[in-house]
Amino acid sequence: MVSIELKDRVAILTGAATGLGKETACLMADCGANIVIGDMNVAGAEDAAKEIADKYGVQAYAAKCDVTDAVQVKKMFELAKDKFGKIDIVVNAAGICVYQMLHEADPDAVAKMMDININGTDIIDKLALAYMKEQGEGRVINFSSVAGRGGSILVPHYAMTKAAIINLTQSYAMLGAKFGLQYNAVCPGIIKTDIWMKYLRQIIPGDEEKQDAFFDKFCSDHIPLARPQETTDIANAVLFLSSDLAKNITGQALNICGGMHMD
């Protein structure tokens, strides 16, 4: 029977106080990994770390982490190194979305999103390389999106940042390979996360029934499998890429989208 074992491995996850990041942290902890959660929401990160430690019997710590602040990111890496002596896995789930069309976009909002999604990813990936290259192995998984697979009317600048993350992941994969490091990305499809709910409330304010109906129709119209993805689907993909089962996979962007994109 094939199983994934991460006992005694150390995983840093950004943007993991809630949502997809937290789901992934919980799954890794369930497989035995010790966890460091980095998030701007310090109270949320501390709560998540305590929950994980209590539930899964691993060590878990929280760190304040704005991914655009290299000093804070370095402190997060230092915390992991001080507590565990090594870092095996880095998952960058931090990111935001701006729902504005090209001709209506607020430049400041777009600049902030680019800073978090693109520059933040670069900072995380660069420090992961610095801290793990001497070990001769390590896994980095960046969160992109199926939105990054092509243009978008609704979220064009978000799509641009997610495309950049795929490209950046591939570039780091080329650089990291000679040190035994593997860089990959996951591209989630349609999930009813806080980001999607914010969008639904924006286009259909105050009517949850119509919001749900819109979401269901969007999924049936755009996803060949006609169903949305669950947070566990994405966490499972990240877990796989973090495991020994993926020892020969690097520079890839894995779609988890029910066939919405097939490249």
Q: End-to-end CA distance of the chain, in Å?
A: 30
Helix residue spans in the chain (DSSP H): 19-30, 42-56, 70-84, 107-114, 120-132, 156-176, 194-203, 208-222, 231-242
Question: Are residues 50 and 126 in contact, defined by beta-carbon separation less than 8 angstroms?
Answer: no
The catalytically annotated residue of 22, 56, 61, 162 is 162
Other CB atoms within 10 A of residue 54 CB? 10
Residue 86 annotated among the catalytic residues of the structure? no
Question: Are residues 65 and 40 in contact, defined by beta-carbon separation less than 8 angstroms?
Answer: yes
Dist. CA 205–CA 224, nearest whole Å? 28
Question: Are residues 83 and 63 in contact, defined by beta-carbon separation less than 8 angstroms?
Answer: no
Cα–chain-centroid distance for residue 23? Answer: 10
The catalytically annotated residue of 61, 131, 158, 183 is 158
Question: Are residues 114 and 97 in contact, defined by beta-carbon separation less than 8 angstroms?
Answer: no
Residue 158 annotated among the catalytic residues of the structure? yes
Question: Are residues 25 and 198 in contact, defined by beta-carbon separation less than 8 angstroms?
Answer: no
- For the chain, how are helix, strand and coil distributed in percent, rounded to 5? 55, 15, 30
List active site positions.
158, 162
